[in-house]
Amino acid sequence: MAKEAGFALTLSVDDQSGPSARNISNDATSIDWGTPRGVQEVTGLDKSAMERILLLADFTVNMQGVFNDAANLSHAVFKTISSTSTPRTITIVISGQTLANEALLTDYQLTRPETGELTWTVPGVLQDGTAPSWS
């Protein structure tokens, strides 16, 4: 496989009624995600350098986009974040690789500066204890 640049990807997020994955790729303008692992320092007194072990896996996501209140698009998907505690499946597909995780979306931030654009930011964290895994 050749090296690839960041090209089009598909972003789908369940709406509050789940499991109804909604493709919001056209509304999203930016996304960053991480699959960090915890680390525990276990250095014994007999060592002259740090010794560590890996702990649990996690998943974090930050999505940004442009407000769209058409049916089944970004506003419809995110507008209930403040009033429901429903986990959402977030699915990222890029170059035939899929990363799907159950996440808690923790905020739906809308921004409208003096220039007039209306944008959103939605952060999320792993919900179900399943280690993130690409397929």
What is the reported pLDDT for 76?
Answer: 95
User: 132 lies in a domain?
Assistant: no
User: 5 lies in a domain?
Assistant: no
Q: Quote the domain boundaries for residue 69.
A: 10-126
- Provide DSSP, the chain: ---------EEEEE-TTSS-EEE-TTTEEEEEEE--EEEEE---TT-SS--EEEEEE--EEEEEEE---STTSHHHHHTTTTT----EEEEEEETTEEEEEEEEE---EEE--TT---EEEEEEEE-S-PPP-B-
What is the reported pLDDT for 16?
Answer: 83
User: 133 lies in a domain?
Assistant: no
User: 30 lies in a domain?
Assistant: yes
Tens digit of pLDDT for each residue in 48-106? 999 999 999 999 999 999 999 999 999 999 999 999 888 999 999 999 999 999 999 99
- Per the structure, the count of domains in the chain is 1
Mean pLDDT (the chain) is 94
User: 99 lies in a domain?
Assistant: yes
Predicted confidence (pLDDT) at residue 135 exceeds the cutoff of 70 = yes
Peptide bond into 19 cis (omega under 30): yes
User: 3 lies in a domain?
Assistant: no
pTM: 0.88
User: 39 lies in a domain?
Assistant: yes
Which pLDDT band, with edges at 50, 70 and 90, does 20 fall under? confident
